[in-house]
């Protein structure tokens, strides 16, 4: 996957002035748009769309400094007016093109990214591949913003709002793998931008044919393959580190890629204060 990402970076450079069809580029690289966007954001710390925007505005800055007509520059980079171009330029550099032309800056230039795989061997990926028939996730759902590091206070507040009886009721409904109470994220923007909204469901897995109680939310999950990572350590730091390591270590070294679907965390054991835990991270995958 590292080689494919570097090829994608070169294609981005070649097409800075064109509409970037990521789906077509992904197919040319024998992968999927979903996998490319998810892995890119995990490794780069920004969505692919944000990187492309920054690179375009970095290239456009040179044209602005060269004194070219602003409307011509706007059209060159796919904007219908100098006003729309100015807004995009300002969102990246913090100042408008007229000020940059007058003062020579300031400019916030985005270098071209290049990806390198460093194998250190210090993160053991305890993994299994599971084939699962179609099943259903049921529980209490909420829309929350994505937060990459640390405890997500919105998810914490959602779980804390549920009475103890709700947890016990959900546990009793669990009748298929992954067993027990689950932390489920769904509807994640493939660009995986910090702050973008996703669906969080605190619930359990049940057989597809089981009825859904009227007061609970449900997510239908198609039959498919899952990569299951067992994680032990500080919570949630160890879990988030494992999520990142799937992108940097596991996917580049194995013939699998992410496919659309919910991500699930099953807590197998935990300290009383939840400072440490043993979890399983379930990611939907397909053969690369």
Confidence (pLDDT) at 123: 53
Least confident span in 97-101, 253-257, 267-271: 253-257
Q: Which of 66, 77, 211 is nearest to 136 (CA)?
A: 211
Q: Is 58 left (phi over 0), alpha (psi -120 to 50) or beta?
A: alpha
Q: Are 227 and 127 in contact (CB under 8 A)?
A: yes
pLDDT at res. 205: 97
Alpha-carbon gap, residue 23 to 47, rounded angstroms = 15
Provide DSSP, 233-267. EETTHHHHHHHHHIIIIIHHHSSEEE-SS-EEEEE
Residue 23 pLDDT class (50, 70, 90 cuts): confident
Which has more pLDDT, 104 or 199? 199
Residues 158-179: tens digit of each pLDDT: 999 999 899 999 999 999 999 9
Per-residue pLDDT band for 206 (boundaries 50, 70, 90) equals: very high
Among the listed residues 225, 210, 232, 263, the one whose alpha carbon sits nearest the alpha carbon of residue 42: 263
Backbone angles phi, psi at 22, to 5 degrees: -65, -35
Global pTM exceeds 0.75: no
CB 206 within 8 A of CB 135: yes
Query: What's the pLDDT at 104?
Result: 81
- DSSP sequence for 84-98: HHHHHHHHHHSS-HH
> Could you give the CA distance from residue 24 to residue 32 in angstroms, rounded to a whole number?
9
CA-to-CA separations, 20 to 7, 28, 126, 138, 272, in angstroms, rounded? 14, 13, 37, 38, 50
For 209-254, the pLDDT digits (tens) are 889 999 999 999 999 999 999 999 999 888 888 888 887 778 877 7
| 211 contacts: CB under 8 Å, gap ≥ 6 | none
3-state SS, residue 33: helix
pLDDT digits (tens, 9 = 90+) for 43-91: 787 888 889 889 989 888 888 988 888 999 888 888 889 899 999 998 8
Give the pLDDT of residue 117: 59
Question: CA-CA distance, 53 to 16, in Å (whole number)?
Answer: 9
| pLDDT for position 214 | 94
What pLDDT shows up at residue 38? 85
pLDDT for 44: 82
What would the pLDDT profile of 115-126 be if each residue is shown by its tens digit?
775 555 455 578
The residue that leads in pLDDT, 191 or 123, is: 191
**Residue count (the chain):** 288
Distances (CA, A) of 191 to 46, 94, 98, 117: 8, 23, 31, 21
> Is-cis flag, bond preceding 178, omega within 30?
yes
* pLDDT band at residue 204 using 50, 70 and 90 as cut-offs: very high
Instruction: Return the half-sphere exposure (C-beta side, CA atoms, 13 A cut-off) of residue 188.
Output: 30
| pLDDT above 70 as % of the chain | 94
Taking the C-alpha atoms of residue 82 and residue 70, their distance in angstroms, rounded to an integer, is 6
pLDDT band for position 147 (50/70/90)? confident
Confidence tier at 1 by pLDDT (50, 70, 90): low
Q: If pLDDT is split at 50, 70 and 90, which confidence band does 193 have?
A: low
């Amino acid at each position: 996957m590292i080689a494919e990402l570097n090829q994608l970076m070169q294609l981005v450079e070649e097409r800075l002035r064109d509409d970037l069809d990521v789906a077509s580029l992904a197919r040319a690289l024998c992968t999927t748009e979903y996998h490319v966007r998810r892995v890119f954001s995990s490794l780069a710390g920004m969505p692919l769309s944000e990187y492309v925007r920054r690179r375009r505005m970095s290239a456009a800055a040179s044209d602005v400094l060269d004194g070219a007509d602003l409307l011509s520059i706007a059209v060159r980079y796919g904007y219908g007016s100098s006003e729309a171009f100015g807004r995009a330029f300002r969102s990246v550099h913090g100042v408008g093109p007229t000020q940059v032309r007058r003062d020579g800056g300031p400019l916030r230039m985005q270098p071209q990214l290049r990806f390198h795989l460093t194998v250190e061997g210090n993160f053991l990926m305890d993994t299994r591949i599971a084939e699962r028939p179609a099943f259903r996730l049921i529980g209490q759902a909420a829309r929350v913003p994505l937060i990459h590091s640390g405890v997500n206070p919105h998810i914490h507040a959602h779980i804390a709002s549920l009475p103890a009886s709700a947890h016990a009721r959900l546990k009793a409904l669990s009748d298929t793998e992954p067993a027990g109470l689950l932390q489920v994220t769904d509807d994640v923007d493939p660009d995986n931008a910090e702050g973008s909204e996703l669906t969080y469901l605190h619930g359990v897995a049940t057989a597809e044919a089981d009825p859904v109680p009227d007061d609970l939310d449900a997510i239908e999950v198609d039959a498919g393959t899952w990569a299951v990572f067992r994680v032990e350590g500080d919570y949630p730091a160890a879990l988030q580190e494992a999520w990142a390591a799937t992108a940097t270590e596991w996917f580049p070294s194995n013939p699998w890629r992410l496919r659309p679907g919910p991500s699930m965390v099953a807590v197998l054991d935990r300290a009383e204060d939840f400072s440490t835990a043993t979890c399983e991270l379930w990611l939907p995958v397909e053969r690369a």
